Structure 1
Amino acid sequence: MTDLTALFTDLVRLETRIYNAVDARLKAEHELPLGQFEFLRSIASRDTARVFDLARELAITVGATSKAVDRLEAAGRIRRTANPDDRRSSLLELTDAGADALAAATPTVEAELQTWIGSVLPAPVLEQLATNLSMLRQRAEVDSRTDRAET
């Protein structure tokens, strides 16, 4: 029987080590922390983005998201525009500088992930891992939304 506590520990430690490696490379080569890369990627992947949307997608607080958005805006990588449907929120979009930073950093992230993950696991194992992690993440996100709705 699988020791779930050991599995959890391995998963967390692996995530930490990979995150730190990718973050260090992005900072060194692009002066872009991995956290900001993730925000740029998330904003670029949708038609409209609000701070609340990003917080939910990235599983962090609205306050932390707002601070990250402030940093990206100060760096000229995103802009806020008035939300015509809700005066209490703004819509976020990449600037040309943000799109350029994302385009330049994406191959670096992909190369680092290839080194850490893609070159280690055979393709069928990697595909199964991706499927299983997606399933677990979806379950966790459903459970998280259910917990918030009950409080």
Structure 2
Amino acid sequence: MTDLAQVFADLVRYETRLYNVLGDRLRAEHGITTSQYEFLRLIGSRDDYRVNDLAHEVAVAVGAISKGVDRLEAAGWVSRRPNPANRRSSLLALTEAGRRLLDEATPTFEAGLRTWLADPLTGPGLDRLAETLGVLRKTVQDARAGTPTG
């Protein structure tokens, strides 16, 4: 019988170590953290991203996300513009410097993913993992489980 506690431990420890090793490379080569890279990647993927959208996507409290976006804005990588549909929120966009940083950091991020995620698995193993993680993520999202408040 599968030891679910061990599966949980392996999943969490792997995610933590992967996040850290990617962060070490991004920091050394581009001066950014893994979370900053992820924020830039997500903001750069849409024209109408809001802080609330980012918080929902990464399942982190809005206040923490807002502070992270403030730091990206202070660094000159992200700008905010008024949201014409809701004056209480802003729309986020990458600046030229932010787009350039994202473009420069993406090969580093992807190389780390190949080294620590794709290479240890066979093609079918990676496909199964991707499908399984998609099912698990959808299950908790559909149940609105693990969503931070505040």
Relative to the length of structure 2, the TM-score reads 0.95
CA positional deviation for 1:6: 0.5
The structure 1 segments of at least 4 consecutive aligned residues displaced by more than 3 Å after TM superposition are 145-148
**3-state SS in 2 of match to 1:92:** strand
Matched with 1:37 is 37
Matched with 1:130 is 130
CA positional deviation for 1:117: 1.3
Distance 2:77 2:107 in 1: 18
Distance 1:103 1:18 in 2: 21
- Percent identity between matched residues is 53
CA positional deviation for 1:146: 10
Task: Give the alignment of 1:41-120 within 5 angstroms.
Answer: 41-120=41-120
Q: Where does the alignment leave 5 or more consecutive residues of structure 1 unmatched?
A: none
CA positional deviation for 1:45: 1.2
CA positional deviation for 1:124: 0.5
**3-state SS in 2 of match to 1:87:** coil
Amino acid at match of 1:27: R
Matched with 1:15 is 15
Q: Where does the alignment leave 5 or more consecutive residues of structure 2 unmatched?
A: none
Alignment deviations for residues 35-55 of structure 1 (CA, whole Å, 9 cap, x no partner): 000001111112311110100
Amino acid at match of 1:109: F
**What is the total number of aligned residue pairs between the two structures?**
148
* Root mean square deviation of aligned Cα: 1.5
Alignment deviations for residues 91-134 of structure 1 (CA, whole Å, 9 cap, x no partner): 00000111011111111011011111111100011001000001
Distance 1:147 1:112 in 2: 28
Higher helix share: 1
Larger relative contact order, structure 1 or 2 (CA cutoff 8 Å, min sep 6) = 2
- Equivalent residues of 2:47, 2:92 under 8 A apart: no
Relative to the length of structure 1, the TM-score reads 0.94
Residues 146, 55 of structure 1: alpha-carbon distance in 2 compared, 3 angstrom cutoff = closer
